[in-house]
Structure 1
Amino acid sequence: MKSIRQYSQNLSILIIEDNQGDFILIEDHLLEKFKNIDIVHFTNFENSYDYLQNPDQKVSLILLDLHLPDLKGMDLINKFLSYNFQIPIVILTGYSDLDLAKKSLQTGIHDYLIKDEINPEILYKTIIFALNRSDFINQIEEEKNNYENLFNFNPQPTWLLEAESLQILNANISAQMNYGFNLDLFQKMSFLQLHPDEEVQLVKLKLSSKEVETSKNHFTHFLADGKKINVDIYFKEIETVSGKRLIVQSNDISETLNHIGTIEIQNKKLKEIAWTQSHVVRAPIARILAIINLIEEEQLQNTDEISFLLKQLKLSTVEMDNVVREIVSETNRFRSE
């Protein structure tokens, strides 16, 4: 926030007052209290509006009489506020319009001054207060806009919920695009309607929990077209003027879970292949080794016996070749999936 000295420097005050005597008095008060002040004077709404429309004109504050030749009262106030010049306005009024001046504070007017009570000190304090209040309001508005931008442009689907009922109060652009519901439809829904009936109680329990660890539970969400997706839900409770609210964010994990499922299937197939390699292949190999050992040890001379063993050796070799072919085929099919 600025200091009082900063507010007092390089001021440009627009006075809209059709009474020349009142203007001269206010001008004298301003010149007495402020250094480096620029005072601009108009006597009606139309000329002051034209002046404010010029982007080159920088106005710090407007002192506005409630009774101008071309516009007066609430019509004058509403007209000024409708143009949203983003300039603090202080009403100049008499005792007869005091109620109206007080009412104007509820519409966006920063303050009011009773002409008969104006003196340099009161005018100075009122202007400083109005400028300070305007800066504070602008700062709040800027922070509000920043929050809204962070909310709306968050790439993750995000909702603002009423904490007790879980009614959807707002949904960001990502939620609307990914789920297929526009904002009006979302605002007619409870967050629970995105979930199947069997998950409702678990969702209620989760969103009422203060434990961060529970945010890792998997849930199911329905899209507008009826499609189901798997999601993780993360949330944060916040306090607002209107009561407790929940900011809830979802993360679509459908592809992740599908990928995990694919990996599990692949692991199962790898285990089957490994079992085949370790058991089925070993049987014909064991028979081949046994036949070779028998031939070496016995030094067989009988032609029939040799012929029989060679036949068994061939059968075991063919069997092993078939097993290898089956392993290669399974591996290729596994890779293609």
Structure 2
Amino acid sequence: MIIDKRPYHILVIEDNMGDFILIDDYLHETIENPQIIHCQTFRQSVDVIKNPSIALDVILLDLTLPDKSGEKLVYDILSLSLECPVIILSGNNNVEFSVHSITLGISDYLLKDDIRPTSLYKSIIYCIERSKQTLALKESEQRYSQLFDLSPQPMWVYDLETYRFLDVNLAAIKHYGFSYQDFMDMTLKDIRPPEDLEILEASIASSREESPLFTKGIFRHYNKNKDIIMVEIRANPIIYQGRKARIVLANDITEKLKYVHSIEAKNKQLSEIAWIQSHLVRAPLARIMGIVNLLKNSVYSNDEIQELIPHIISSANELDGLIMEISTKTYEAKNNQDESQVSS
């Protein structure tokens, strides 16, 4: 038989010395150097379990002790042991109680008459590994819960078949204005404008069929006040409480889009100004300059000069009007910029 060389720390709570000696022998047959602590009463075991300097790997528990026994003993030991697996070693062949013990949180239930070195060792290492996996799963669930609940961005989980909300975080409650119970009574359709429901159906149908690992898009949503907000959605598939679901991260980009639209409007106005300056202004200005050059380099009679003056005045008025138009568009562009900065 291969001897396990890992340094297991084992608490044996057993008041019968004959049984303890047998358990001790079994443990030494399969484990090279088990660190065994023996307690004969519940009170003694409390001091050991609560000692922060002792890191137990497993507890072997007899069901009948001088100061406590039965279900009460099981319950109190489990309350103290926390993540440490507890294995019952009992002479009582009560199937109903053994099953009940497992439901309470006991890792295994062994009959003393059936215990052998190998079976005891296997139970110990199986329970320890199972406890590690359970603890890792709990930690993973806790990390998910913290990431979900404490996220500054609105997040929710919805059922892929019914569209019902299965969970929402605090950020979603604050941002949309609905209470948690409001969300639990709603579906995705309740936060979408009626005219956008076909888009919702098509989007979910596509994701249900293709089941992509990651989807995103920009959609219109309602908040509780029925204000429409523009939301960038990122979603991933998950199994939630046995249901096919999606976890969604929502980013309200309403103000961002308003700012982008204001910049686009400003750029359009600036383009119009540039076009006026480069095309329309040059025509009257060229006519004025041409007439001035004629007057400067040629000899005209007074009557001929009088005929040219209206053309100069007309071109000057046209130029003045264009300059006024440029000034107006420049002023409007500046106001649009100021408004966008205030809103952002």
- TM-score, normalised to structure 2, is 0.83
Q: Tell me the distance in 1 between the aligned counterparts of 2:214 and 2:150.
A: 26
1:220-270 Cα distance to aligned partner (Å, 9 max, x none)? 222244433111323222346713121222222212321232133224423
What is the CA distance between 1:44 and its match in structure 2? 2.5
1:112-131 aligned within 5 A? 112-131=109-128
What is the CA distance between 1:201 and its match in structure 2? 3.3
What is the CA distance between 1:169 and its match in structure 2? 1.4
Partner of 1:316: 315
| Contact 1:46–1:70, Cα closer than 8 Å, also in 2 | yes
Task: Name the CA shift for 1:200/1:330 in 2 (closer, same or farther; >3 Å).
Answer: closer
What is the CA distance between 1:114 and its match in structure 2? 0.3
Q: Which amino acid aligns with 2:161?
A: E
| Segment of structure 1 superposing worse, 160-169 or 210-219 | 210-219
Structure 2 portions without partners, runs of 5+: 337-344
Partner of 1:24: 21
| Contact 1:206–1:214, Cα closer than 8 Å, also in 2 | no
Q: Tell me the distance in 2 between the aligned counterparts of 1:305 and 1:265.
A: 48
The answer to whether residue 129 in structure 2 is matched with residue 132 in structure 1 is yes
Q: Which amino acid aligns with 2:68?
A: L
The answer to whether residue 47 in structure 2 is matched with residue 50 in structure 1 is yes
Q: Which amino acid aligns with 1:222?
A: Y
Partner of 1:251: 251
Q: Tell me the distance in 1 between the aligned counterparts of 2:214 and 2:19.
A: 68
Q: Tell me the distance in 2 between the aligned counterparts of 1:22 and 1:267.
A: 89
| Segment of structure 1 superposing worse, 85-94 or 44-53 | 44-53
What is the CA distance between 1:62 and its match in structure 2? 0.4
Task: Name the CA shift for 1:181/1:77 in 2 (closer, same or farther; >3 Å).
Answer: farther
The answer to whether residue 242 in structure 2 is matched with residue 242 in structure 1 is yes
| Contact 2:9–2:34, Cα closer than 8 Å, also in 1 | yes
| Segment of structure 1 superposing worse, 186-195 or 109-118 | 186-195
| Segment of structure 1 superposing worse, 59-68 or 139-148 | 139-148
| Contact 2:233–2:251, Cα closer than 8 Å, also in 1 | yes
Q: Which amino acid aligns with 1:201?
A: E
Q: Tell me the distance in 2 between the aligned counterparts of 1:312 and 1:69.
A: 122
| Segment of structure 1 superposing worse, 9-18 or 63-72 | 63-72
1:92-103 aligned within 5 A? 92-103=89-100
Partner of 2:341: none
| Contact 1:73–1:100, Cα closer than 8 Å, also in 2 | no
| Contact 1:162–1:244, Cα closer than 8 Å, also in 2 | yes
Q: Tell me the distance in 2 between the aligned counterparts of 1:183 and 1:8.
A: 53
Task: Name the CA shift for 1:149/1:84 in 2 (closer, same or farther; >3 Å).
Answer: farther
What is the CA distance between 1:206 and its match in structure 2? 0.9
1:165-185 Cα distance to aligned partner (Å, 9 max, x none)? 122112234323433345444
| Segment of structure 1 superposing worse, 62-71 or 174-183 | 174-183
| Segment of structure 1 superposing worse, 88-97 or 138-147 | 138-147
| Contact 1:110–1:130, Cα closer than 8 Å, also in 2 | yes
Task: Name the CA shift for 1:20/1:185 in 2 (closer, same or farther; >3 Å).
Answer: farther
1:107-146 Cα distance to aligned partner (Å, 9 max, x none)? 3211111011222222222112211221222222233233
Q: Tell me the distance in 2 between the aligned counterparts of 1:67 and 1:40.
A: 18
Q: Tell me the distance in 2 between the aligned counterparts of 1:58 and 1:179.
A: 48
| Contact 1:159–1:172, Cα closer than 8 Å, also in 2 | yes
| Contact 1:93–1:101, Cα closer than 8 Å, also in 2 | no
Partner of 1:65: 62
Q: Tell me the distance in 2 between the aligned counterparts of 1:262 and 1:314.
A: 38
| Contact 2:158–2:246, Cα closer than 8 Å, also in 1 | yes
Q: Tell me the distance in 2 between the aligned counterparts of 1:129 and 1:230.
A: 52
Q: Which amino acid aligns with 1:147?
A: Y
Task: Name the CA shift for 1:168/1:14 in 2 (closer, same or farther; >3 Å).
Answer: same
- TM-score, normalised to structure 1, is 0.85
User: Aligned residue pairs: how many?
Assistant: 332
Task: Name the CA shift for 1:180/1:294 in 2 (closer, same or farther; >3 Å).
Answer: same
Query: Percent sequence identity over matched residues?
Result: 38
